Amino acid sequence: MLELYHNNISVCAQKVRVVLAEKNQQWTDHHLSLARGEQLTPQFKAMNPRGVVPVLVHDGNVIVESSVICSYLDEVFPDPPLMPKSPLERATMRLWCKLPDDILHMACATVSFAVSFGLQLKAQMGAGLEERLMKMPDPARRDRQRALIEKGIETPFFRDHIKVFEKTFGEMEAQLGKTKWLASDAITLADIELTPYVERIDRLGLSAMWDNRPRLADWFSRIKARPSFKAISDYPPTDYNDTGRDGRKHWPRIKELIAA
């Protein structure tokens, strides 16, 4: 039995749902409201002390960390495979899969909160915002969110994090000139784990970042055409709304920050 504790627009949860869809696996849905802090309850933190989604429960065994969950699902349900056979292609895949954990996920949180989520959370929580922030177990993450809520895209570290996306998209464009997908000529975990981050930038209204990257634009079109993409598109926002293309009004300034 598979159970998934997730959130509709969590990028980490999205990639796990896509893997489950690629594997044609059924799962029991446990949706958590991140805005209401349901991932910070003692009951959930007993499963994952970090207080983040997703969490997979497979036959009573708890697996945390989205990249670990994706690899676990590919091993437990090997058909269809999402890992290349060639050792070199596997190494390439693993490098792409490291990227979200190393830096891209933090960059995504920064850009999302600066462009859209910060103001939404402030409006939703009102006078309870500080109490909500203080419940976060990671003080550094709490301080970053507070700064982004207050200063938006002018937060000093926003420029560095939007440049992470600029660099990533340039690297994707280059790789897609060598292989059909990011690690090989077949789709792998590399493509799935990067998909939610590209989708988030699109939903935030910043797709101009690949206007001059035709291979990346084609890759994204092929990703969205796959049936498994419904694991993202069929789960509309319920807490934060990342579909408003809010970044369009900020694009001239963001473009300046990227070029700086």
Using a 10 angstrom Cβ sphere, with 0-12 exposed, 13-18 middle and 19 or more buried, the burial of residue 126 is: exposed
In the prediction, which pLDDT does 217 show? 98
* Average pLDDT rounded to a whole number, residues 92-118: 94
pLDDT tens digits along 188-223? 999 999 999 999 999 999 999 999 999 999 999 999
Which pLDDT value is given to residue 240? 85
Cβ neighbour number for residue 40 with a 10 Å cutoff = 16
- Helix, strand, coil percentages for the chain (3-state, nearest 5): 65, 5, 30
Q: Give the model's pLDDT for residue 142.
A: 82
CA distance 20 to 37: 25
- In the prediction, which pLDDT does 91 show? 98
Q: Assign 225 a pLDDT band (cuts: 50, 70, 90).
A: very high
What's the pLDDT tens digit per position in 135-174? 777 788 788 888 888 899 999 999 999 999 999 999 999 9
**pLDDT attached to residue 125:** 73
For residues 45-72, average pLDDT: 96
Q: What are phi and psi of 162, to 5 degrees?
A: -70, -30
Per-residue pLDDT, 40 = 87
The average confidence (pLDDT) of the chain is 94
What is the structure's pLDDT at 147? 82
Question: pLDDT tier at 100 (50, 70, 90 boundaries)?
Answer: very high
Q: Are 207 and 248 in contact (CB under 8 A)?
A: no
